Amino acid sequence: MDNSNYLKAYSLIKQANNILVVTHDQPDGDALASVCTLAELLQLLTKQYIIFCHDQPYHQFNFLPNIEKFKNQLDAFAFDLIIVLDCGSLARTKLTEQIKNRNKNQLVIEFDHHPKTENFSDLEIRNPLAASTTEILYNFLKVNKIKINKAMATCILTGIVTDTFNFLYSATSSATVEIASEMLALGARLPQIMENTWRNKSIATMKTWGKALSNLQINPKYNFAVTVLSSADIESEVSDEELDGMAGFLSNLHNVKGILLLRQQKDNLIKGSLRTAQANIDVSKLALLLGGGGHAKASGFTTEGRLEKTDNGWKIN
């Protein structure tokens, strides 16, 4: 990637007086860790800033530095710089109108590793080959010769660990592993990250995972595994983040092309999570057809409707 964009982004950040940092709704580990990384930098630069997400961060990420600063409401939109992180679709910021209708002096920087789907930023820093958005932020910090402290290292490693499903996804490159190693040397604690993001499953979560395993079917025509979680299957205290982990776990199913996890959400919505471990399969193409997006190996979509079980299987009403 051209280093000039990293340099230009840092120049814009240093010139700004009032900054908004935003990520997508139902934020995953990489989204939260990316925002917290940048918040740490803005704090060191003594900048006035707000970090925003439409939804509250999941409790298992409470260990991240700066996580307590998240807001899910804005009193005004008088920012001179807006930084959008890890957000493949502008709609998922829940600030579409504000960002699209911003005045000409309100610049937008976008850091992302999802494939491009739309134009909305003044400066786009995108690398679909990166394992996580925190990996891109690592390069941004390095190019600008910004010292990575322990808090940043913890955030960067968290984004890598969660978005590679503990280094199992094929997006994990030698550079990803080298960055992770450097973050450990700088004080990031992998056992703490693993304890909070992977090993802290509640009884409710495990019961819900059990339902997903029990409902698992394989479509022989397409050699694709599908499982469904209705509202009754999902324990009330189980978060979307924990269910996304279920989709990643199922992607290791032997000898199938991929998996689809459908789960009922509130407001008459159904969320679909697509995963594959096959080198020649790109599930993002299917996700795009269904109105979503993501990566070749991990994608998702949302559709309206209710899941209903019939004698011939599941259908969407």
Compute the distance between CA of residue 131 and CA of residue 136 in angstroms, rounded to an integer: 9
Residue 55 lies in a domain: yes
- Statement to judge: residues 69 and 33 lie in one domain: yes
Instruction: List pLDDT tens digits, range 230-279.
Output: 988 988 778 776 776 788 788 878 889 999 999 998 888 999 999 988 88
pTM: 0.83
Mean per-residue pLDDT, 202-213:
88
The last residue of one of the domains, among 182, 197, 212, is 197
CATH number, domain at 176?
3.90.1640.10
Site of tokens 């409707």 = 305
Using only C-alpha atoms, what is the Rg of the chain? 19
φ/ψ region of 118 (left if φ > 0, alpha if ψ in -120 to 50, else beta) reads: beta
How many domains does the chain divide into?
2
- Statement to judge: residues 177 and 259 lie in one domain: no
- Statement to judge: residues 69 and 184 lie in one domain: yes
- Statement to judge: residues 123 and 223 lie in one domain: no
- Tell me, what's the pLDDT at 241? 66
The last residue of one of the domains, among 197, 212, 228, is 197
- Tell me, what's the pLDDT at 309? 86
Q: Is residue 235 within 8 Å of residue 260, measured between CB atoms?
A: no
Q: For residue 57, with 0-12 CB atoms within 10 Å meaning exposed, 13-18 middle and 19 or more buried, which class applies?
A: buried
- Statement to judge: residues 216 and 183 lie in one domain: no
Closest CA to 32 of 6, 5, 55, 9: 55
Percentage of the chain exceeding pLDDT 70: 98
- Statement to judge: residues 117 and 249 lie in one domain: no
* 145: pLDDT strictly greater than 70: yes
Residue 316 lies in a domain: no
- Statement to judge: residues 40 and 170 lie in one domain: yes
What tokens appear for 167 in the block?
């280094």
Closest CA to 158 of 279, 57, 228: 57
Residue 103 lies in a domain: yes
Q: Which domain holds residue 34?
A: 3-197
What confidence category does residue 169 fall into, taking pLDDT thresholds of 50, 70 and 90?
confident
What phi, psi does 311 have (nearest 5°)? -65, -25
- Statement to judge: residues 34 and 183 lie in one domain: yes
* 314: pLDDT strictly greater than 90: no
Residue 248 lies in a domain: yes
Q: Is residue 37 within 8 Å of residue 65, measured between CB atoms?
A: no
- Statement to judge: residues 296 and 234 lie in one domain: yes
Residue 71 lies in a domain: yes
- Tell me, what's the pLDDT at 64? 97
- Statement to judge: residues 220 and 302 lie in one domain: yes
The last residue of one of the domains, among 197, 218, 252, is 197
Q: Is 85 in a helix, a strand, or coil?
A: strand
Site of tokens 């939804």 = 55
